[in-house]
Amino acid sequence: MRTDSSPGSLPAREHLPAAGAGTPVLDVVIPVYNEEKDLRPCVLRLHDHLTRTFPYGFRVTVADNASTDATPHVAARLAAELAEVTSVRLEQKGRGRALRTVWSASDAPVLAYMDVDLSTDLNALLPLVAPLISGHSDLAIGSRLARSSRVVRGAKREFISRSYNLILRGSLQARFSDAQCGFKAIRRDVAQVLLPLVEDTGWFFDTEMLVLAERAGCRIHEVPVDWVDDPDSTVHIVRTATEDLKGVWRVGKALATGSLPLDRLARPFGDDPRDRELTDVPQGLARQLVGFCVVGVLSTLFYLLLYSGFRPFCGSQTANALALLVSAVANTAANRRLTFGVRGRAGAARHQAQGLVVFGIGLVLTAGSLAALNAATADPDHSTELAVLITANLAATVLRFLLFRAWVFPDAPPTVPAVSLDAPPTVPAVSLDAPPTVPAVSLDAPPTAPAVSPDAPAARHPDAGRPWGEATARRRPAHPADTHPRDRR
């Protein structure tokens, strides 16, 4: 799991302007490996569908994952025949690597991908990307497990898919319904922030991206899809499942240890720009108060158990001090992680030191209460002592919350400076408007151009750094319905 700093905080959600020309709004990536038979009919069908039904400019990018058959030649011929199609050659395998390379270099505001077999009905493509164009959502996924989805596949794949998503829900608390459907989209500005945090380069790539996006507070839109299983799929189920489980363990460990800077990706308050002009708006107060109360109740029970355990061996004041000290350390650590969402070891020692100061204030309150009780009664019974201590602890708890919120864990802006979204991304880019990396040649002749490595820097598209307002394409008339006979299921 990558723990390096992200390019900046998540951008505010805004509708893409309809005016402008030159850059396509949508870039659909098709990652392929040895798909010489299926690639051409897939791209032609997708291109025809987008031409007839999609109201914005689009691009179809074939990302070749080090194919050893004639796939590069087929991709090059398609790019030469169709102006909206381009191809990128990678010398290393991995669906995640292909998506990262093309998405990082793309200048389209909305990025999507789909499997080459087109198992998902293409009529779901416009509903998939519409919430991203409108600014309503950050990511969108097709779901085969939604109640209104229509899916045709074998019992084995159905069992594996549902089991995998149950594992994600149980281990990573994922709330999206289908992580593995090869039909997803993301806004480019969100991708620029999330992609540096995603480590996987294979099949677990999109699952990891979805988990991190959800934890960072991104809005994920789900579209029920009609899906027909491809009986000729070359995916190795056992090996893919093993790698996915390893990825779940790695991501879960990173989230548990707080090694990911997800707290630095916080959006401005509210999605409406007018909300961001408001000042002195308390953020997260209700959630912090609930978390603090839960931690406080558990800490009080822990304190009472400790006090009852220490009391037979020492006086009331000594037992109170020892119980408070141990419970205060545990309370500070729990509130740091659960209530105020501070992860990682940075600043932990300082927070514990400040927590001990707050502990000292609580000690004064409880010790003073015991002293007053002993002054009023020569030999108070144990139940009376506990009642006095509970009352004193309630007062100390209120004061502790105020001090924690205002002094120990104050709300502060992210420590990593945000990078303007209009600046070019720092990830090496591969130009998508350049001629195909493999020239269009006869299928009987070998390619004459060398392959472009995804790790080598390449020239960027001249419009890549332009604001979205200047980088949207012409609107095309949309047909009321897609009537292509091959799109019916």
pLDDT tens digits, one per residue of 363-396: 788 888 888 888 888 788 888 888 888 888 788 7
pLDDT class for 426, splitting at 50, 70, 90? very low
Q: Choose among 15, 10, 427: nearest CA to 194.
A: 10
Place of tokens 């032609």: 44
pTM: 0.58
Token pair for residue 462?
């001249």
Token pair for residue 371?
């002293």
Q: What is the pLDDT of residue 401?
A: 81
Using alpha carbons only, what angle is made at residue 106 by residues 104 and 109, rounded to the nearest 5 degrees? 105
Please say whether the beta carbons of 25 and 108 come within 8 A: yes
Cα radius of gyration rounded to whole Å, the chain: 28
CA–CA dist 430, 457 (Å, integer): 7
Please say whether the beta carbons of 14 and 198 come within 8 A: no
E strands, 144-273, in order? 150-152, 183-187, 220-224, 226-228
CA–CA dist 372, 369 (Å, integer): 5
pLDDT tens string 431-477: 444 444 444 444 444 444 444 444 444 444 444 444 444 444 444 44
The mean pLDDT of the chain is 78
Q: What is the pLDDT of residue 352?
A: 86
Place of tokens 């080090």: 66
Q: Choose among 39, 87, 37, 81: nearest CA to 60.
A: 87
Interstrand relation of 139-143 and 183-187 (parallel, antiparallel or unpaired): antiparallel
Please say whether the beta carbons of 89 and 437 come within 8 A: yes
Task: Return the amino acid letter for 481.
Answer: A
Task: Return the amino acid letter for 13.
Answer: R
Please say whether the beta carbons of 13 and 220 come within 8 A: no
Q: What is the largest CA-CA distance in the chain?
A: 104
Token pair for residue 72?
């590069």
Q: What is the pLDDT of residue 229?
A: 82
Please say whether the beta carbons of 148 and 121 come within 8 A: no
Q: Work out the percent of the chain whose per-residue pLDDT is above 90.
A: 29
Residue 314, pLDDT above cutoff 60 = yes
How many beta carbons lie within 10 A of that of residue 321, not counting itself? 18
User: For residues 479 and 111, which has the higher predicted lDDT (pLDDT)?
Assistant: 111
